[in-house]
Amino acid sequence: MKLATLKDGTRDGRLHVVSGDLGTAYPADGIARSLQEALDGWERIASRLSELSDRLNRGGVPGAFAFDPRRAMAPLPRAYQWADGSVYESHFRLMQQAFDSESKLTFRKNEPMIYQGGSDDMLGPTDDIMAVDEAAGIDFEGEVAVITGDVRMQTSTAEAAKCIRLVMLANDVSLRNMILHELGKGFGFYQSKPATSFSPVAVTPDELGAAWRDSMVHLPLLLTWNGNAFGRPNAGIGAGFTFAHLIAHAAVTRNLQAGSIVGSGTVSNPAPDVGSACIAERRAQERIAHGEPRTPYMKFGDRIRIEMLDASGKTVFGAIDQRVVSFREKERAA
């Protein structure tokens, strides 16, 4: 099934079930008011949401209306936590070789990298990316993310895989020119990682069919920057770790509460002809080839679109479609 949170004037929005083709939606009133409520009671609520989804897909729900992604908030507008990994070795190796951003880190074969980002202000798929200064190096990062149920401390990888409730796309916006300064302090990301954006819908793994295997999505991630194709790396290729590994690693010393979001990190493939899921990776390739980067970071007014299509060419999660705006100009206009 596919779930969305639509704007209703509250912080947590209103949970809706969305048809498989993203054509229609219907509120989950009487089942769960919010996605967090559904996750808290997943064992008894998921089957009722699934039944409503089946009826919606059959066209048997009077009052169903056309689904508009512009009304969507992030599936979880605020979450108990947002923990983002970096599982694609080709992305890390490029960054390290070009000394572009993550060069101070070490990619370990036996342990995934993960950091805890801000989870109190998630952006919807068409919300503006607000930035203070273009000089910060505004970059998009196309990722896949999962939402978990409750995860026990010291859970195994096999058990962690069973804790994945929903899958969605993410745009983990980075301010590249601030990253090295923050990492140099030895305390990790903070100001260099503004609000993260998510796809219009989150889907249960079974909705992905054969594309979901080994706790990963095996489909290309399509990125379009200012109307031009930028990258199409496959999220199932080149990952040194799976979501099950990331979840188990996050739960080594603590429990994870239902409603925790875990990200894959920037999707990246070893083959350069598929393009990239972030500007920094392209800049790294340019630095290696030409001695200097040639592609600038995003400017105010730029637009980024991130989407994933299934084998038949239909959108799976809907598209993240955002523009970059000046925070100060938006504040003045308000």
Residues 202, 269 within the same domain? yes
Q: Is the pLDDT of residue 102 over 70?
A: no
CA distance 197 to 72: 11
Q: Tally the C-alpha atoms within 13 A of residue 174's C-alpha that lie toward its C-beta.
A: 25
Strands 129-131 and 320-326, sheet pairing: parallel
Q: Is the pLDDT of residue 98 over 90?
A: no
Residues 110, 166 within the same domain? yes
Residues 275, 144 within the same domain? yes
What pLDDT shows up at residue 239?
95
Q: What is the mean pLDDT of the chain?
A: 94
Residue 296 vs residues 135, 178, 288: alpha-carbon distances, Å:
10, 15, 16
Residues 238, 97 within the same domain? yes
Q: pTM for the whole thing?
A: 0.95
Q: Which domain holds residue 239?
A: 81-333
Poorest-confidence range of 106-115, 188-197, 313-322?
106-115
List pLDDT tens digits, range 295-317.
999 999 999 999 999 999 999 99
Residues 218, 282 within the same domain? yes
Of 244, 246, 233, 279, which is closest to residue 85 (Cα–Cα)? Answer: 246
Q: Is the pLDDT of residue 100 over 50?
A: no
Final residue of a structural domain among 36, 71, 106: 71
* pLDDT grade for 91, boundaries at 50, 70 and 90: confident
308 bridge partner residues: 221
* pLDDT grade for 107, boundaries at 50, 70 and 90: low
Mean pLDDT of 118-128: 97
CA distance 141 to 273: 18
Residue 11 vs residues 14, 73, 177, 203, 304: alpha-carbon distances, Å:
9, 10, 32, 21, 25
Residue 76 lies in a domain: no
Question: Cβ distance 74 to 123 under 8 Å?
Answer: yes
Q: Is the pLDDT of residue 329 over 90?
A: no
List pLDDT tens digits, range 206-243.
999 999 999 999 999 999 999 999 999 999 999 999 99
N-terminal to C-terminal alpha carbon distance within the chain = 38
Residues 131, 11 within the same domain? no
CA distance 314 to 295: 31
Write the DSSP string, 267-297: ---S-GGGB-SBHHHHHHHHHHHHSS--S--
* Angle of CA points 58, 64, 69, to nearest 5°: 105
Final residue of a structural domain among 15, 37, 71: 71
Write the DSSP string, 301-319: T-EEEEEEB-TTS-BSS--
CA distance 91 to 225: 19
Residue 236 lies in a domain: yes
CA distance 1 to 326: 37
Final residue of a structural domain among 25, 45, 71: 71
Proportion of the chain above pLDDT 90, given as a percent: 83
Poorest-confidence range of 14-23, 48-57, 96-105, 297-306?
96-105
What pLDDT shows up at residue 99?
52
The tokens for 233 are 């790396």
CB atoms within 10 A of CB 144: 25
Residues 27, 131 within the same domain? no
For residue 20, give the amino acid letter.
G
What pLDDT shows up at residue 62?
96
Poorest-confidence range of 36-40, 98-102, 112-116?
98-102
Signed CA dihedral, 225, 230, 236, 239: sign only: negative
Mean pLDDT of 279-288: 92
* pLDDT grade for 105, boundaries at 50, 70 and 90: low
* pLDDT grade for 139, boundaries at 50, 70 and 90: very high
Only one residue has tokens 């993550």, namely 102
Residues 100, 24 within the same domain? no
List pLDDT tens digits, range 37-75.
999 999 999 999 999 999 999 999 999 999 999 999 999
- Residues written for the chain: 334
Domain count for the chain, please give it.
2
